[in-house]
Chain A
Amino acid sequence: MRTPIAWFNSIDQPRRTATAVGGMCFALLLIFMQAGFLGAARVNVSIIYQALDFDLLIHSRAYLTLQRSDPFDRLRLAQAAAVPGVARVSRFLIDSFGWRNPRTGSTAGGMMLGVASTAPVFLDPAINAQLATVRPTLTALIDRKSRPSYGPWEVGGKAVANGQPITLTGSYELGLGLISEGSIIVSDDTYERLQGPWNSGYAQLGLIKLAPGADRERVAAELRARLPRDVVVVTKPEIIQREQHYFLSVKPVGIMFQVGMIVAFAAGAAILYQILSSEMSNRIAEFATLKALGYPITSIYGIGIQQGLIYALLAYLPALGLAAVLYRVGRDLSGFPLHLDAGRAAFVLALALAMCAFAAFLSLWKIRRADPASLF
């Protein structure tokens, strides 16, 4: 076997390598954090849309985001239902509400989702199956992933929503994370009771399912042509993309996460370059020696690149472990749905390799300059 020079160079001065790798490891950790939050937020902001079963969506022209949606006249739903290709139009109501646990007296915020108890608008069949149980007014399904601030509750038990007592007839799993502390699903009648009777003339969203074989774009165009200008028709991917865009590019948090990620990447690359190039210049005479021994330049470059890779991987592995811990801490502290999935691990690994490529590329010219004639 060939002597793995890069490896021996890397472990020759363990302390030096440890500090070098430490800096990079933290930079990767920071990327993990920012990417984790960014990724979680990206999924999170559209989580309700992801859970709903629809092809096209009607919302008010004044709509900003799901949490800040403006009601529009219910009549639009009936008008939409008359358009050919539309199989079903469901009214969807959503607003924040105040939760109170009568047992502990604790209060919390949350989102209240209102649907007709006959409309299977959720993708999860378990939720649709339970909708029949909320037909009686002042009954609700509760999100099992609601925060601990909701206090202990049980199916069949009582709770207070917007100051009125409700009965919990079932539960489901959604988890609103960043958006809100928890959620409940109620029938449209209950919604009007809890959020104010003026809602009866309005819808917040119209969820449209297309008839089999209908062309989505064609139906959307038809709807846009027929419906008055106070509402807007969008497809599911469009609305999800818009929600994400709003969070990532308009809200300060999204911008900061992205800037933080770029800064961490740049810092990681700079640190690796700093390490690698000082390593290269310390060993310049050794590279010259290898040249004099007759090693081709490519295999000497190889040593530099391998060393960059070794550093990047040595930094990546502990960063991965630390990220798992920090995700846990972040999750416990903030209730934010942070998860270390393979995609994210691969993404950060790719960034680490990109840093390595960048740093190696810049420090290789040092190797090229190594002059065997200067050895004598």
Chain B
Amino acid sequence: MPLPPPREVAITVTGVNHHYGRGEARKQALFDNHLAIHRGEIVIMTGPSGSGKTTLLTLIGTLRGVQEGSIRIDQTELAGLAPPDQVRMRRNIGFIFQQHNLLDAISARQNVRLALELSAAPRREHNQRADAILGTLGLADRVHYKPRNLSGGQRQRVAIARALVNQPRIILADEPTAALDKDSGAIVVSLLRRLADEQGSSVMIVTHDNRILNVADRIVNMVDGRIVSDIRVKETMVICAILKRCEIFKEMSPSDLTDVAQKMREERFANGATIIRQGDIGDKFYVIAQGRVHIQVESATGTRAVASLAEGGFFGEVALLRDQPRNATAQADGEVLAYTLSKADFLAAVRAHRSFEAQLSAQLFHRGG
């Protein structure tokens, strides 16, 4: 399985708190949220009603001012953004609302054109582009209908066409498929997928619709104003596939494996970079996903190469398990992509999964410390 290429972060949410109301009625809706969404990534957000999903969405969409913390879209900080800049910012964002929010008095095409008219698209292309996207959504014969003469699902598709017609770099959707049947839901989702893959758009969808979970790159779960889990669906799958080929994980059950994989972070190293240095305090456990790593031990007698680990190899566990400084130096041999587990996660995993511990001991024994 190929590795996803390295991706830039499109949206960074750092330490965001949000309060509603004033004085007595002041109530906190978001608590210290952190989130990073990459280009071309589809993030699905779930969570119980009232947990703050919509609030976070409106903050990212510059529909509300950021109160505490920071939200960056590309290089722009949203906190403290002046209203005219907010307005300009919104033009890069496609909104899909739970209610369609179309203008009643104008036709489907004109509604879509409303978004186009704000873009740099040449005027003579407006109708053509509006019709094209409506056609993609199966509304080719409805371009001249007014919203009130469309079905609920059709209206929603017009609204989606309006959100997508400018191929915005960020798409924010709140329950976009609630009003759609399976097929039109699938059309919408695949359109979003295509925008994400081809344009590198970042898509954030709040939904309870299980049918669309499979397009998600990540699933973020929110409870009581906090992001409680952030599952990188696709990445986890890739990591699992790699881990499965590792000696030490081989005995692990798939669910245990997923558990570990979810906690792993991707790290990249250039050729010759020192990954860990002998004598440092150990804080991470490494699994090599790609490339080779040289392990050397330095002693009074000089530097001694101990091993050269390839894809599927791991290192850095001894310092964590024994709570000792690093006993060797690891250096990248060519480009290296590694997955890392923090000390705490590593120890927790060791404790939680007997088979993992057994494998580790065997390996340790095998390596001879």
Contact = CB atoms under 8 A, between A and B. Distances in A.
Q: Touch between A and B in complex, CB under 8 Å? A: yes
Interface of A: 1-3, 5, 8-9, 11-12, 283, 285-286, 288-297, 371-373, 375-376
A5 B95 contact: no
A8 B110 contact: yes
A295 B91 CA distance: 8
A286 B117 contact: no
A295 B118 CA distance: 7
11 contacts: A3-B114, A5-B106, A8-B105, A8-B106, A9-B105, A288-B101, A292-B95, A294-B89, A372-B58, A373-B64, A376-B58
A294 B118 contact: yes
A290 B93 CA distance: 13
A292 B114 contact: no
Contact of A5 (B98, B99, B105): B105
Interface string B135-173: 000000000001000000000000000100000000000
A1 B122 CA distance: 11
A290 B146 CA distance: 17
Contacts of A376: 54, 57-58, 63, 97-98, 174
A6 to B, nearest CB: 9
A193 B87 CA distance: 87
Given A294-B91, A296-B87, A286 B58 contact: no
Interface string B108-147: 0010011101100001000000000000000000000010
Contacts of B368: none
A375 B95 contact: yes
Contacts of B58: 372-373, 376
Contact of B103 (A289, A297, A373): A289
Interface string B53-90: 01001100101100000000000000000011001111
A375 B97 contact: yes
Given A283-B104, A295-B118, 4 more contacts: A293-B90, A293-B162, A294-B93, A376-B174
A8 B144 CA distance: 13
Given A293-B90, A296-B84, A5 B117 contact: no
A125 B159 CA distance: 76
A294 B106 contact: no
Contacts of B101: 285-286, 288-289, 292, 375
Contact of B87 (A11, A289, A297, A371): A297
A3 B95 contact: no
Contacts of B87: 291, 294-297
Given A297-B87, A375-B95, A292 B103 contact: no
Nearest to B148: A12
Contacts of A294: 87-91, 93, 118
A3 B113 contact: yes
Given A3-B113, A376-B97, A376-B174, A292 B105 contact: no
B133 to A, nearest CB: 15
Contacts of B89: 294
A293 B61 CA distance: 10
A11 B107 CA distance: 13
> Which of A283, A291, A294 has the most chain B CB within a 10 Å cutoff?
A294
A373 B90 contact: no
A293 B123 contact: no
